[in-house]
Structure 1
Amino acid sequence: MSERAADAGRGHDAEDSIEYFLEDMAYHGKSERTREAYGRVLREFEAFLSETGTEPAAADRRDCLAWVHELRGDHADSTVATYASYLNRFYSYMTQVGEFDGNPMTLVTQEMDEAIDTDPTRREVSIAQMRSFVAGITHPLERAVVLTLLKTGLRVGELCNLDVRDLALDAPAVEAAYDLGTRAQLDGRPDTLFVDPDVSRGEVANGEERTASNKRKRATLVPVDAELKAALVRWLAIRPDTPSPAEPLFASTRDAWGKRLTPEMVRSFVREHAERAGWYRSGADAAENVTPHYFRHFFTTHLRDRTGDRGVVKYLRGDVADDIIDTYTHNWGDRVREVYLANVYSLT
């Protein structure tokens, strides 16, 4: 009996190649956690291909290269290597069982194996040095974005996906102008950001199709300290009107006036500031360049060192860990907020 005939017998939709692969992983005894990790990466690759109307079975080497190139803007090299290995295994398996004609990731992974350091040693930036860097950023939007990344550990895509409704602020000056914090999860939690895990590239969320995905599996409530709050209030005072019904928190003040910031826009102005500081050089790697992803590394390193509490940092980063979620979400208002506000570094 052929593979497809077997699929028909077990009620499987053979047209969904990713589901086919994940189901076979289950038959081979792979854990649910492993299958979820593969599924998330493969669905993001599928969403990337959908922009050009390409199915995974028809993707070629250049499609895969383009996806890997995009990943590098949001992730460390080690993460890019992991995601690429997932895609390579998917194509290798589907080729072996006769579902696909070939594996377009073969050459891509060979080139990456030669080029990627899976454990890069990053530039060491002290809090005092970062404080000087932030002082040089005067534009209200850029300053608010950089401080948000540095003080929350959000990924750049997660930051771009924030809507006004995802921010609760005890600030009468802006509360009168915006419908802040209307999420049910923010009720009774002033000065807090809500990061929604259910926002994916290519899908509509809050009335707007998104161009980036949130990379976390569970909702996260992130405290906003007085320093970040001041930057956000200053930004909201001059934020342009936007055509989006979703009311993005961060909107462009450049050529795409009023439109939601994209990860590439953020990377562009962060690169400009990093170049002026001598922290970015074209052609350099993650060990040398300061990028939006570096800010997440900075947050993790310094807050973990100051708190001595890996659990709080993991929760704020949105890392998937049931024990961490169970420990902190039921008592969020006391534990996470207390630890964060007592230890978060000052950058202004």
Structure 2
Amino acid sequence: MSSDTATPEPDEDPIGYFLDDVTYHGKSERTRAFYERVLREFQTYLSEGSHPTAVAAASHRDCMAYVHGLRGDHSESTVATYASYLHRFFAYMTQVGTFESNPMALVMEEMDESINTDPTRREISVAEMRAFVGTIGHPLERAVVLTLLKTGIRAGELCNLDLRDCNLSEPGPRPEVPVRAALDGREDSLYVASEPSRGAVTNGEERSASNKRKRDTTVPIDDELARTLRRWLAIRPDVRSDAEALFVSTSGDWGQRLTPDMVHHLVERHARDHGWYRDGGGTEENVTPHYFRHFFTTHLRDRTGDRGVVKYLRGDVAQDVIDTYTHEWGSRVRESYEANIYSLV
């Protein structure tokens, strides 16, 4: 159904009504087309079953059966993406009062995803984490912690970032280093490559850590993180390598690229001062750089209801989903991130 036709009544064609609203909200034609394909396939599935059902009357078992049926033909990451589209549709129609409930809510809870949270881990609210970040005054330390919390990248991936991997719309004081070609037109974003590995030379410098993500990923930078990075760049020392590491030491190893050990020590020191780390505490109790990845995953996933976007940002997804989100940078990843990322400053 084209967006230039009259909007259908929600009770007559809830999918058409939703698709028109998607357009009215400023989503791209590509985004609208993806929604239409998934939702119409689901509608066909319901109508062709042994007990034909209208979309508005779909139960959580109908949704669960549909999602389960996708697994034979699609990767788990693609299944998660389809499920997220259905979830958003039902959530929206419930919010506007057309549907009584969202049958996908229970399905999303029950889906067995690799990014499920560990129920034994310490649970920290956004407000508590905001208070923690507020205790960190040093520009480097605050930039490191906020980057980990706002992007979900690993400590090694953070250490491997070069200036060319950071494209700020207002760059502030920094050496004249061109950004990667992959960041052209993508201001306020980080490029997290899959290529660096420990002991190998990347961008002219031997690395002390490996990036573990499956694919190169472009991660948005929100206003809070952009301000924090500019503050850090204003005092960043001259570095010892032409690779121009983004994060370098300001202590005994002045100007040297941070290592994962340095990052772990930095986070442990602040977590210990905050009562979030003790010797022998283990992963259930201690807050570490890896905990920040858990925090990012949990809170952003719960806010977006979209496992696909979160898995893209984590670098956990297969090529088909990477291609989808790469092509939809402005309309899907960026918009979803900016609309849902938590405030920590």
The answer, yes or no, to whether TM exceeds 0.5 is yes
Q: What residue is the counterpart of 2:135 in the other structure?
A: 136
What do you get for the CA RMSD once the two structures are aligned?
Answer: 1.7
Q: What residue is the counterpart of 2:168 in the other structure?
A: 169
Aligned pair in 2 of structure 1 residues 181, 155: CA closer, same or farther (>3 Å)? farther
Distance 1:180 1:327 in 2: 30
Distance 1:182 1:245 in 2: 14
- Mapping for residues 259-338 of structure 1, pairs under 5 Å: 259-338=256-335
1:247 matched to 2:244? The reply is: yes
CA contact under 8 A between 1:166 and 1:182: conserved in structure 2?
yes
Deviation, 1:230, is 0.5
Deviation, 1:326, is 3.1
The letter of the residue matching 1:142 is: E
Q: Quote the sequence identity (%).
A: 68
- Mapping for residues 199-218 of structure 1, pairs under 5 Å: 199-218=196-215
Q: What residue is the counterpart of 1:198 in the other structure?
A: 195
1:182 matched to 2:179? The reply is: yes
Deviation, 1:284, is 1.1
Deviation, 1:182, is 1.7
The letter of the residue matching 2:199 is: G
Distance 1:198 1:241 in 2: 25
TM-superposition CA deviations, 1:180-214 (whole Å, max 9, x none): 55201001111010011111100000110000000
**Stretches (4+) displaced over 2 A:** 177-181, 320-324
SS at match of 1:333: helix
TM-superposition CA deviations, 1:115-159 (whole Å, max 9, x none): xxx966100000000000000000000000000000000000000
Which TM-score applies when normalising by structure 1? 0.64
CA contact under 8 A between 2:172 and 2:233: conserved in structure 1?
no
CA contact under 8 A between 2:156 and 2:259: conserved in structure 1?
yes
SS at match of 2:330: coil
Deviation, 1:331, is 1.3
The letter of the residue matching 2:175 is: Y
Deviation, 1:287, is 0.3
The letter of the residue matching 2:136 is: I
Deviation, 1:252, is 0.2
CA contact under 8 A between 2:166 and 2:191: conserved in structure 1?
yes
The letter of the residue matching 1:208 is: E
CA contact under 8 A between 1:181 and 1:187: conserved in structure 2?
no
TM-superposition CA deviations, 1:312-333 (whole Å, max 9, x none): 0000000032342132111112
CA contact under 8 A between 1:167 and 1:181: conserved in structure 2?
no
Q: How many residue pairs end up in the alignment?
A: 231
Where structure 2 has 5 or more consecutive residues not aligned to the other structure, the ranges are: 1-74, 76-113
The letter of the residue matching 1:134 is: V
TM-superposition CA deviations, 1:51-76 (whole Å, max 9, x none): xxxxxxxxxxxxxxxxxxxxxxxxxx
CA contact under 8 A between 1:274 and 1:280: conserved in structure 2?
yes
Deviation, 1:239, is 0.1
Distance 1:337 1:181 in 2: 22
- Mapping for residues 65-214 of structure 1, pairs under 5 Å: 121-174=120-173, 177-180=174-177, 182-214=179-211
Deviation, 1:179, is 3.0
CA contact under 8 A between 2:160 and 2:207: conserved in structure 1?
yes
Distance 1:205 1:172 in 2: 24
The letter of the residue matching 1:336 is: V
Distance 1:182 1:345 in 2: 27
CA contact under 8 A between 1:250 and 1:260: conserved in structure 2?
yes
